[in-house]
Amino acid sequence: MNNFLTCVFVLFFLNLYSKDQIVILEWKFKGIEDGYDHLNRSKVIVDGLEMSVSTSCHQSEWGTYQLKLSKTNHHIKLINEAFYDGKWIEHTFDNEFSINAICEFDLNAKEVSKVQIEFDLNGSDVSIVQFNTDGGEWIKKKPVFKGKHYPMEIHWKFIHVEEGYDHPSRMLVFVDDIEYGTSTQSVESNGGTFALKIPKGQHRIRIVNQSFLDGVWQDHTIVNDYSVEAVYEKAVEVKKVVRVTLVIDLNNEETINKWEI
């Protein structure tokens, strides 16, 4: 008994003071039609570095992938693939699937030990839930950005807007996944300018365009049946004024984005 307690204590001590943390990624699909429960696997990219591909399982089952990460912040990208017509292809709109089974998120490996991802084939939604080392759902604490801040200017405009579809539009800005500011609204063809101050240092800036349609604000994304994915994300070192220019071309279904950092 004494030997057992000693082993438990040693394992606890090693995990507590280890520089690395084991993080488990789990994913599965829901809303699967009969006869379409494909084999699937996932490619995982950590901080821009592609890992080995996961083992395969059916979409209705939980797929798993184990990562050994340093106890710091990491950016994770998961790209799901389906085995279809005898070959592995990415599970995306471009390959005529009903959902882009791709997701990106940040995690703090000191606090998070598991991430569950669920792809909804009916609603085209992706649910991401992180769990802490005690097994409970991890809730991100809103950071307090102290110190010096620098101005950020965002200029945007839509071109080739069809008559009758010139919706009210606005921009949301996120700093490290925290909603940081919302612009005033204007119609898409007029565009707008949004100025705010963001904290000095290394941050992930995400700019999300929203349209006002049928009485609600919704993200201007392919999932919401728009032709252009009007979400722009960049890791930046903020040390002076940041200027971003976005021209959303609805004909060519692309966005010209220019960052001055």
pLDDT of residue 142: 62
pLDDT at 212 (0 to 100): 87
The reported pLDDT for the residue numbered 8 is 43
Give residue 113's pLDDT.
94
Catalogue all structural domains in the chain, each as residue range(s) with its CATH number. 18-132 (2.60.40), 149-260 (2.60.40)
pLDDT of residue 130: 94
pLDDT at 208: 92
CA atoms within 13 A on the CB side of 249: 7
Rounded CA-CA distance 84/91 in Å is 10
Are 106 and 74 within 8 A, CB to CB?
A: yes
Distance between CA atoms of residues 156 and 169, nearest Å: 10
Q: What is the pLDDT along the chain (261 residues), one digit of tens a residue?
A: 555 555 444 445 445 556 789 999 999 999 999 989 999 999 999 998 999 999 999 999 999 999 999 999 899 999 999 999 999 999 998 898 988 899 988 899 999 999 999 999 987 778 999 999 888 888 776 666 788 999 999 999 999 998 888 889 999 999 988 888 899 988 999 988 999 999 999 999 999 999 888 777 888 888 788 888 888 888 889 999 999 999 999 888 888 888 888
> What's residue 64's pLDDT?
96
pLDDT at 143: 63
Side-chain-side CA neighbours of residue 52 (13 Å) = 8
CA distance 156 to 188: 9
State how far the Cα of 96 lies from the Cα of 92, in Å rounded to an integer: 7
Residue whose C-alpha is closest to residue 120's, from 52, 209, 29: 29
pLDDT of residue 37: 95
186-187/39-46 β-pairing: unpaired
Rg (CA), the chain: 21
